Amino acid sequence: MSKSPFLNQVRTELRTRQYSLRTEKSYLHWIKCFIRFHDLSHPQKMGNQEIEHFLNHLAVDRHVSAATQNQALCAIIFLYRHVIGREIVDLRYQNTRTPKRIPTVLGEEEVKMVMAHLKGKYWLITAILYGAGLRIQEALSLRVKDIDFASQAIFIFNGKGRKDRYSLLPKSLFEPLKSQIEVVKKIHQQDISQGAGMSSVPPAIYRKYKDSLKTQGWQFLFPSTHRCMHPYDGYLCRHHLHASAYARQLRQAVSASNIVKRVTAHTFRHSFATRLLENGTDIRTVQELLGHTDLRTTEIYTHVVGNRRAGTISPVDFL
């Protein structure tokens, strides 16, 4: 916990409203930046002018992205609405519109090239991203019990927007997944022999299933290398692999593949959706598999497919 009673109050409010740990860390970061920017003045004594000054500083002086500006604004609005107890109105600053861009997509050969330079769990994570269209945090948060070989489905618990859904479980991944589950089993047995064996779970699940959390089904499919103390409930547990560890391996694989496109974990999700549409999958099915609330979010992939299938020939090709 922070030494500041005020920041502890903010943290308590975030946890009471069940914000994710990532959001908690992000909001606390921006709130601290806001307070430090104004020479440690208490937010109670500040208002619209100070908020606008800080947000303009981020945009003009620090050149942060539109998404980062919006995140900082959301953190400050949360602070005043739920902690200070004051609504911020007539703010001369609106959410910055994030530019709509066509997503970067890899072709099948490019995917093969990248995956050829990945091994073990990093290869398997990439295969799940591309084969099931998961976000990186969804893939890393998978537990052994979420893999349903009988139904050929992957269960995604509490995905973006706090929604549960199912996605495809590719048949070609059956054996690699079973091998990974055996790895998890060995790590889990070692933890139990050392008096541990608990998996990291949200507080509400901890209270409800506390006696079951040492079972193999609750263990993460891609466990972290080291155990840690749970940030909320304080018990010794094993969390999942950190996204930065995967990102590091992916950068190396992309570099070794000599691919000039900007490739991130999300690129495989984009490629999954595009490939399904190219193969004639109904867009509503793609929307369901991706977990999109709004069909318009899914429709962006039709632009990628359209660009490739329009059949338009460039004039230079006639020369």
pLDDT digits (tens, 9 = 90+) for 309-319: 545 555 655 64
What mean pLDDT value characterizes the chain? 89
Residues 117 and 68 in one domain: no
Q: Which residues are catalytic?
A: 135, 160, 266, 269, 292, 301
Residue ending a domain, among 84, 99, 132, is 84
Q: Is pLDDT of 182 > 60?
A: yes
Domain that holds residue 54: 5-84
Task: At 277, list the tokens.
Answer: 């549409």
Which of 5-9, 64-68, 93-97, 279-283 is the least confident region? 93-97
Q: Which residues, in sequence order, are CB contacts of 86 under 8 Å at separation 6+?
A: 80
pLDDT at 310: 46
Of 280 and 251, which is predicted with more confidence?
A: 251
Range from 133-137, 203-207, 228-232, 304-308 carrying the lowest mean pLDDT: 304-308
pLDDT tens track for 205-239: 888 888 788 899 999 999 999 999 988 888 999 99
Residue of 209 and 6 predicted with greater confidence: 6
Count of structural domains within the chain:
2
- Does 249 or 16 have the greater pLDDT score? 249
Q: Do 30 and 128 sit in the same domain of this protein?
A: no
Write down the residue that tokens 């903010």 correspond to.
Answer: 10
Return the SS3 of 153: strand
Q: What pLDDT was estimated at residue 238?
A: 93
Q: What is the DSSP string of 230-270?
A: -TTT--EEEEEPPHHHHHHHHHHHHHHHT--S---HHHHHH
